[in-house]
Amino acid sequence: MARLMALDSRGELATEHARAVAGSLGVSLRTVWNWVAVARREGRLSARTPSRAGVTPDVRVRLAVWGGNVSAVHRELLAEAAAAGEPGTVPSLRTLQRAVRRDLSAGERAGLKGGEAARRRYDVYGKRPPTHRNACWEGDHKRIPVRVALDGAAVCPWVTWFIDVASKVIVGVAVTPHQPARDAVLAALRSGISRAAPYGPFGGLPGRVRVDRGKDFLSGAVARALGGFAVPVEDLPAYKPYRKGTVEALHGAVEQMLLVCLPGYIRRARPAQAYQPDPVEDLLSYPDFVQALLDWVAWWNTGHHPAGLPGGMTPHEAWEADPAPIEDVPEEQLAFFALEDDGRVRKITTNGVAWRRRAYIAPWMAGLAGTKVRLRFLPHFDGKIEVFTTDTPARHLGSAYLAETATPAQRHALSEVRESKARALKADLKAAEKLRRTRYTATTTPAAPHPRRSVTAQQAQEEISRARAMDLAARALPDLIPPREPPPGWARPRPRPDITAPVVTDPAVTAPPEDPTGTRPAPGSKE
């Protein structure tokens, strides 16, 4: 229309121009001349936009309150309009629903109903450009939804692993029977960097390591270990798993391909009201589970064909076909990878080396009593330490082991004692919570509820008296026995000067006045 009106303003508009526009837009010639007439009369070059209801910021807030329920928001608007005496100002329910579908995207509507995780399903994510092997690793923890047997109890282990983004090779794995800490991260990194048996042939130094905002991955020990090899750690924003999609896809793959068929899988579909956890005797032992997981990792690297690799190759084949060079680290440098140093200088005595008030000994210490040494140790593991000299550079003397370790029977008895104490404390806390909380009867009318259990005034007074009798702090009498005078050799605090009293320099005035009664207060009295 802008072109037709420009021709019309110069007097060059002809039927052939209108016929060309009609054929291009698929309308009749009469329709084009009607558009030209409207443009000459009203100055409009497009169709009139009808006035219709839209989603205002207030309606968006109400939708968030009601979880995306448009009907509830409409009822609330009708009630407020009726109370204000303006019932005709609210659009109909169908009009409001059409406005919500028109002004809010499918992701926004899902987010109002299910939160950020639901909205994220409607986002569009791009793929990072392809890279070479060891250009970037992604690491993460995963809680294994499988109950395994460990020392007579059922636990859900955790796995910490690193995967190469380019070749989809799992380079490092570490398993812990509890929530992992930085020692698991360091162990997985150690197995990933080393290419010696049994960790090879995958590994080497990565160009960067991509992790989420986990405190274990961002600890000082991990930063020092990777910083020693000039490997940067890329800290991704929290709660954005799509930023490290390779390792997140690995989490889902291991559950669908391995964990779902293992005994003790806690997410297995079961009949309604028929859930009964597998007994500990029927579960896999912890060593058997670790072996099954490592076998699956080996199959993933050598026998699986991920969809993201070209030509249907396995991760091993993609790794070998990549011509990018691998930066290896000598094994003598990895021997003490990720060990921490507390910075203290100790001395070898006839009892060995003292660390954390316990003695560590080794055969090589014979004849070295009195030598000053420094210790390095693996985080969260105190069964073995490494001993170095205090020279610069430090020289490794050898490993030392805990002199006295508890027997398995002693460890089991100690665990039983700790568990019994925990159960007793839990019972006490539940009883205290039951006494503290007041429960009320159910109500069917808008009235104040009544307590379920009625207590008489005599019962309340008796319980209060018993509590006071057991409270030793309330029964304490600090003024019953006055404190004794300190020994003469002790330094006494100076008396606090009175800032309101005038300053007197005459020594005769500063002398204490004579007592007319001839008596003075005894030292230490309260006068």
Q: Are 236 and 213 in contact (CB under 8 A)?
A: yes
Q: What is the pLDDT at residue 226?
A: 84
Q: What is the pLDDT at residue 49?
A: 64
Q: What is the pLDDT at residue 457?
A: 85
Confidence of residue 135 (pLDDT cuts 50, 70, 90): very high
Nearest to 62 by CA among 45, 47, 75: 75
Tokens matching residue 98: 């059409």
Confidence of residue 454 (pLDDT cuts 50, 70, 90): confident
Region 160-166 average pLDDT:
93
Q: What is the pLDDT at residue 158?
A: 93
Nearest to 52 by CA among 101, 9, 11: 101
Q: What's at 504, amino acid-wise?
A: V
Peptide bond between residue 379 and the one before it cis (omega within 30 degrees of 0): no
Tokens matching residue 429: 């806390």
Q: Are 223 and 416 in contact (CB under 8 A)?
A: no
Confidence of residue 524 (pLDDT cuts 50, 70, 90): very low
As a whole number of angstroms, the distance between CA 462 and CA 481 comes to 31
Q: Are 93 and 74 in contact (CB under 8 A)?
A: yes
pLDDT single digits (tens) 292-337: 999 999 999 999 999 888 888 999 999 999 999 999 888 777 777 7
The yes-or-no verdict on residue 206 having pLDDT over 90 is: yes
Q: What is the dihedral of CA 248, 251, 254, 257, to 10 degrees?
A: -70
Tokens matching residue 377: 């140790």
As a whole number of angstroms, the distance between CA 250 and CA 362 comes to 43
Cite the DSSP H helix spans in 68-136.
70-84, 93-103, 106-114, 116-120
Confidence of residue 525 (pLDDT cuts 50, 70, 90): very low
Q: What is the pLDDT at residue 526?
A: 45
Q: What are phi and psi of 401, to 5 degrees?
A: -120, 155
As a whole number of angstroms, the distance between CA 522 and CA 213 comes to 69
- Contacts of 504-507 with CB under 8 Å at 24 or more apart are none
Q: What is the pLDDT at residue 120?
A: 86
Q: What is the pLDDT at residue 499?
A: 61
pLDDT single digits (tens) 368-393: 899 999 998 877 778 888 899 998 87
Confidence of residue 133 (pLDDT cuts 50, 70, 90): very high
Write down the mean pLDDT value for the chain: 84
Q: What is the pLDDT at residue 470?
A: 66
Report the predicted TM-score, pTM, of the whole model to 2 decimal places.
0.66
